[in-house]
Chain A
């Protein structure tokens, strides 16, 4: 049975390894999130915003030409059609409603590609809350349009200038900001990482993805379970959402596509399960890329959203017990898959999601298999990277 235990662990992974200064905040969240999320009032507001504001349910689209090319029945779960362009908003809607009920006045967040930052800035505008987003200096440079979107939405974007100047360091800065403002501030973590209860809470908000896949597939195919679900994994929030209702259905294969960067052995990679070992990162025990000495290794991926040296503890657990199949997709293959999907289906995917598309080349399946790929985001934000890459 895959589920979080009362101490916040999935098997060997998870927990809350945090400085005492964050203990009251995390404890407050832990004590309250389940009751708040279960309340009728919360569910009503959450569901109504997902429907009317985010645009859910997102389509489950049978990609005919892609299916023909790969020789299987391939559906795309169109999270790219969510308001703001990615699945991230499912979680930010949930967390802002939670923050309101906890009486918080300010929101802080970290962001990699900027999708979570935009989704956070969006819900803060929606709820009239003050918003500060921490973003690595390098990501600010490569995701300019998202930086400007956050600013238009009224958020303050603060560059993280330490370490690798990417998502890991943005997360460090957000945690420091939370330590500095513990009383009135809620930290909206964007992935299934961080101290308990964040990984489980974020996964539950994202679990609407697999909840919908189940009934949509039932409508289309007469069965709730596909043979395979594929999703990309940086921290792993879209994957957690797409896998959530299938964790304990062993006949559904769960495939996680990590970013291999320039190649798993190139020294420029973010393929965490291939390169990582157990340790502690951002408040939870998980698998992370680190030196023998326990220093966190700076990752690389062309996709800012996957450029993270760890994975959420639930994914570490899926890997550990062999429930998930992990593949590593190189920059060049992801870019090619992004262009291929654009040509075959008229959908330009986010480079993150393109990793999941490429995974079709790395796993075994039969021609009658039903495969659902979680298309976590759209490629608008990556236009500059596509242009620089060329090849189309």
Chain B
């Protein structure tokens, strides 16, 4: 089996794992959001790589070019990026409110205050 051809995927996988680990283990809420973003961005890179064709060109019709990369993953990821930034913005706005109400953005401190109330 051609493992070398898969190597590129494994790079994204390591990135996804980094992001996911950060998301799970960080106690700081902003760091969680950053981890989430890393995770999502790696998924996007994976998607885009599926559209690539060897020797393909940017999918804008030009005379004399026959092979183009598949534009469908591009469109999907455009949408997904936008969705991602929308959730990031909301998450950060929530963090600001949490900071207002609790005075902290460390997950354990916030949980502690919740447990006490």
Report if A and B associate in a common complex: no
Q: Which residues of B contact A (CB under 8 A)?
A: none
